[in-house]
Amino acid sequence: MPGGELLPFRPLDSSGILRSPRCLSVLGRAFPFKLKYQTCSSRPRPLLFPRRWRRELWVASIGGREKFLFEDEAKFGDRISDRKTEKLDQNRVRIKKNERESSVPLKRQRDGVSDGFQGVDDRRKSRHFLSKKRFDGEVDEEEGKDHFFFAKQRSEGGRGLSERRSALKVSGEQEKRDDDEVITKATGRSSAVENESHLSQTRFEQCSISPLSLKGVKAAGYERMTLVQEATLPLILEGKDVLAKAKTGTGKTLAFLLPAIEVISKLPPGDRDPKRPSINVLVVCPTRELASQAAAEANKLLKFHPSIGVQVVIGGTRLTLEQKRMQANPCQILVATPGRLKDHIKNTPGFATRLMGVKVIVLDEADQLLDMGFRKDIENIIAAVPKQRQTLLFSATVPDEVRQICHIAMESDYEFINTVEEGTEETHSQVRQTYLVAPLDNHFQILYSILTKHISEDADYKVIVFCTTAMVTKLVADLLSKLHLNIREIHSRKQQNYRTRVSEEFRQSKGLILVSSDVSARGVDYPDVTLVIQVGLPADREQYIHRLGRTGRTGKEGTGILILAPWEKFFLPSINDLPVTAAPLPPTDPNTRMKVERALSNVEMKNKGSAYQAWLGYYNSNKNISRDKTRLVALANEFSQSMGLHNPPAIPKLILRKMGLSNVPGLCTK
């Protein structure tokens, strides 16, 4: 978590009531969506923030002195929208209840909001199913075993494509045809530009999985196992806890789903009550898109297992709908995002009991889930499942710190499977990576030039442009639409049904650009992405790798471009072990510049103001930049100028105070 220790948000007093009308209107501007959710406009009256909300508002402290508002946009946005749907559900229940109990005095009905929250607090108090066990974060001395797993094909994988193609020729045309057929079946695309270094020589029928699972695997179009699947399957079937690291797009989802399904299919009949089956496999994913995708993959594999069901529970959808769905179609595999899972543990009758049947828990994108942003939720979830279980942690990046806290979830004798050979890159060799360094003022123009060039070169283009925050994503999407590019945007400030629709459209399409915040950075499997552009500083090395990993999946080729300002070059040493090379700047063309400037002048001022504030917040949470506040503001004002503004947008004084930016020269306040 950038920015250090987390402290409660200041303006809320201990009772959670915001009394100052001034604060309220300021907060109203800062978090309009939050106040909208509360169905309170910026009318100056006391506003009750429930206790659980107060935990969502943070002030971070650097070096114990400077305090500023910290917002993890993706997570925060998801949380707010979760609360919104949950609140709607509560209101519906309340209305029904009030309809039934028409004798309840009107005054009490009107006070329903606080009653409702009280009810939730009461429910929280009665969480007898949560153990008292605490995790103190101490490093376990006895680490698990490490397996740097190099299948015998690895050396082959290191070869260039042409060499690989001739190797295929030597080994016979028939084999090549077989392989082509497999890849075409699995991906719907020809293997002409595919590298197979992620695939092992082991076929699924060679491993000990049930005939029904094998049929499912074959029907999904998979023939040979990927390296990570080959390495982890026997260990998981043996009952081991496994931490697995494998490059992006190399089939980690199937690597944990397949053995998990096997575990369920081998459960004795006594453990399987068809009317109210317990949840046997719990998969936790950091984002909704990823959870839906994992559930879809599970459904594919379960095609011939009619008695095993899978359900997904994610924020942004109605809790009651999910409750009904789980009742109507009980499942043994549950895929969930942490926030919504916690809601079900608290609010869904019988859910906690069903969780006591968990035999396998999977943390997908484990390093992110075990990071500070999710850690508490994960600890609570782990406390809600039995101690006697198997734990699987998967990710493309496993920083040392994550290995040190693995014991939060796993037995000390867990196995560490690493399919990324030490000394080799964590990214794919078939993905060409470059970076450009240019003044902020030129970034929009450079982005536009790169996109138009790419589109002209590849009619089947499919591009993801990653931006630093949700509001900057919105701004860039607005700008590129005004430049008549075929754009979709996705970020945490969009409604879940919109996110699902756009995500599905992008999965199916070609000739489309997705402008995204980090909600698409990890795990999302969009086939055939041709180019990934990262504009501005990635949150860290891991995020750079995951974002880049949206292209070059399953051996396909791809390109990654990182656009930095000169003062962001400090990021480059953190990726200097990756094959990232400097690229020349696209030629400056006065016509393009004019076009971009004209489009910028048509972008709504409100969006520019929100982007400016979000930009300032994002870079203020980066230690390297926020150290010198005067410089930070000067840089933010460069960003403002790059949006075509002569004066920077005004920011509420309270927000600036929380950011630790009061009285910093160069800022406009309101």
Ligand X SMILES: Nc1ncnc2c1ncn2[C@@H]1O[C@H](COP(=O)(O)OP(=O)(O)OP(=O)(O)O)[C@@H](O)[C@H]1O
Q: Which of residues 593-652 bind ligand X (CB under 6 A)?
A: none
**Residue 252 engages ligand X in binding (rule: CB under 6 A):** yes
Among 191, 253, 433, 517, binds ligand X (CB under 6 A): 253
Closer CB to ligand X, 186 or 634, in the complex: 186
Nearest residue to 443 (alpha-carbon basis) of 475, 420, 414, 416: 475
**Residue 552 engages ligand X in binding (rule: CB under 6 A):** no
**Residue 418 engages ligand X in binding (rule: CB under 6 A):** no
Among 523, 560, 609, 660, binds ligand X (CB under 6 A): 523
What are the Cα distances from residue 224, in Å, to 137, 171, 237, 251, 308? 40, 17, 18, 11, 24
Least CB distance from residue 249 to ligand X, whole Å?
A: 5
Among 57, 212, 254, 402, binds ligand X (CB under 6 A): 254
Q: Which of residues 446-505 bind ligand X (CB under 6 A)?
A: none
Q: Are 659 and 58 in contact (CB under 8 A)?
A: no
Q: Stretches 142-150, 167-175, 208-216, 547-555: which one binds ligand X (CB under 6 A)? A: 547-555
Least CB distance from residue 64 to ligand X, whole Å?
A: 37
Q: Which of residues 215-244 bind ligand X (CB under 6 A)?
A: 222, 224-226, 229
Distance CA 255, CA 253 (A): 5
3-state secondary structure of 560: strand
- Strand extents, DSSP E, 486-630: 487-490, 512-516, 531-535, 558-564, 580-582
Closer CB to ligand X, 253 or 442, in the complex: 253
What are the Cα distances from residue 103, in Å, to 94, 108, 224, 448, 566? 14, 11, 67, 64, 68
Mark 370-409 with x for binding to ligand X (rule: CB under 6 A) and - for no binding.
Answer: --------------------------x-------------
Least CB distance from residue 363 to ligand X, whole Å?
A: 12
**Residue 248 engages ligand X in binding (rule: CB under 6 A):** yes
Distance CA 211, CA 195 (A): 29
Rg of the chain, C-alpha, whole Å: 26
CA angle 166/167/170 to nearest 5° reads 90
Among 77, 251, 560, 652, binds ligand X (CB under 6 A): 251
Distance CA 666, CA 659 (A): 15
**Structure token pair of residue 84:** 């919104």
Closer CB to ligand X, 531 or 633, in the complex: 531
**Residue 553 engages ligand X in binding (rule: CB under 6 A):** yes
**Residue 245 engages ligand X in binding (rule: CB under 6 A):** no
Q: Stretches 246-254, 342-350, 531-539, 637-645: which one binds ligand X (CB under 6 A)? A: 246-254
Least CB distance from residue 248 to ligand X, whole Å?
A: 4
Among 249, 552, 560, 617, binds ligand X (CB under 6 A): 249
**Residue 302 engages ligand X in binding (rule: CB under 6 A):** no
Q: Which of residues 186-205 bind ligand X (CB under 6 A)?
A: 186
Q: Where are the alpha helices (DSSP H) in 348-495?
A: 351-355, 366-369, 372-383, 400-404, 443-457, 470-482
Q: Are 49 and 14 in contact (CB under 8 A)?
A: no
Distance CA 347, CA 122 (A): 11
Distance CA 613, CA 610 (A): 5
**Type of residue numbered 332:** Q
**Residue 525 engages ligand X in binding (rule: CB under 6 A):** yes
- Residues found near ligand X in the complex (CB under 6 A): 186, 222, 224-226, 229, 246, 248-254, 396, 523, 525, 549, 553-554
